[in-house]
Structure 1
Amino acid sequence: MENTNCCVCQKPKATLQCGACKEPVCKKCAQFLEEGSFSFLKEVPEFLSHGAYCGPCYDAKIVPELGAYNETMEAAKNIAVFMKDQSKETRNFSRKEAALKVVDCEDREEALLRLAFMAVKADFNALIDVELSYEKIRSGGSYKTHKWSAKGIPTTYHGRR
């Protein structure tokens, strides 16, 4: 006979399962993780891809990961970005790293933010030679949309030179 008591409050007939410890948990005790909470990560770890968690697992495993992700996102929003046509300002910057590239983004800002997020994850604080481009996509008669892509070289920026 399988135990269906909630692992938090011990009430019978728990309908959900914790994504981390696989214990049954009731809807009242479950902590839910919004879909797309870690959408900027290249690969979302398996334990972060579930929707419901028990309170102890959420506090011990999910909250620290979510905090680190949000810190990285804030750093990505504050990264120094130099476009391709600003090469005069960046001529002395190191270009040793391989260029980062993102494709198929909904808008220009998302493409730039995803590129900045990748640079921050690689421990850089600037992007140089950034190129943004889009492709028009027609679906049906007159409905058009764009798919944006971005490319840039990550580097470390030390303020004014």
Structure 2
Amino acid sequence: MENTNCGVCQKPKANLECGICHDPICKKCAQFLEESTFSYLKTIPPQLKHTVFCGPCYDKNVAPELEQYEADMRKATTITIFMTDDTKTTSRFSRKEKAIEIKDCPDREEVMMRLAFLAVKAGFNALIDVEIKSEKVLPGGKYQYSKWSGKGIPTQITSSRFL
């Protein structure tokens, strides 16, 4: 991809390629995303797996998805969570949904956030019977670390008493 013209500004020296339309683009015109931007999604759509985009493709395909993702992340921080110890409080809540399960996270907070995010994506405003566990891992080296996992049942709470 040497000495080609940028698909946006038409200047030479376009040394990058748009991940969606594959047009050559220069660094000035390129829109960049970190690889971990959509990491909380269960499956990342193919067009969002790239890190370099031209302006038109970014505006049409990436920006709306990024805006929705960030809105869901904000909602996930406000979700109501009841741990397994709270079963007396949640005894009348619906438990007909399948439990969401998260494995292999580096810390407890990430497990909670991932559970909450997936509940929001499924259209729920609460998690009940949430159970978080850690497992110590001692690899061949000296230092041990913990792997965290968790599960919870998503549900919809309508009573303002619990929100």
TM-score > 0.5 by shorter chain: yes
In the other structure, the counterpart of 1:4 is 4
Deviation at 1:3, TM superposition (A): 8.8
User: What code does the residue aligned with 2:53 have?
Assistant: Y
C-alpha distance in 2, partners of 1:112/1:87? 18
Pair 1:42 & 2:42 matched: yes
Q: Deviations over 1:41-88 (max 9, x none)?
A: 111111111111111111121111000000001111110000000001
Q: Which runs of 5+ in 2 are unaligned?
A: none
Query: Any unmatched runs of 5+ in structure 1?
Result: none
Q: Distance in 2 between matches of 1:103 and 1:93?
A: 25
Output the TM-score relative to the length of structure 2. Answer: 0.94
SS at match of 1:112: helix
Whole-angstrom distance in 1 between the partners of 2:155 and 2:143: 39
Q: Deviations over 1:104-145 (max 9, x none)?
A: 001000001101111111100000000000100012454110
Question: Identity across aligned pairs (percent)?
Answer: 59
Partner residue, 1:112? 112
Moved over 3 A (4+): none
Compared CA separation, residues 102 and 89, structure 1 to 2 (3 A): same
| 1:21 aligns to 2:9 (yes or no) | no
How far apart are the structure 1 equivalents of 2:13 and 2:32? Answer: 18
In structure 2, how many angstroms separate the alpha carbons of the residues matched to 1:56 and 1:3? 22
Tell me how many residue pairs correspond in the alignment: 160
Change (3 A) 1:85 1:17: same
**What letter is aligned with 2:110?**
E
SS in 2 for 1:37: coil
Match of 1:81, SS state, is strand
Amino acid at match of 1:116: A
Alpha-carbon RMSD: 1.5
What is the TM-score normalised by the length of structure 1?
0.95
Instruction: Please give the secondary structure, in 1, of the residue aligned with 2:104.
Output: strand
The DSSP-based 3-state class of the residue aligned with 2:10 is: coil
Q: Structure 1 CA distance, aligned partners of 2:14 and 2:3?
A: 9
Distance 2:74 2:35 in 1: 19
TM-superposed CA distance for 1:4, in Å, is 2.1
Tell me the equivalent position of 1:80.
Answer: 80
Alpha-carbon deviation of 1:22? 1.1
* Aligned counterparts, 1:117-156, within 5 A: 117-156=117-156
The equivalent of 2:102 in structure 1 is 102
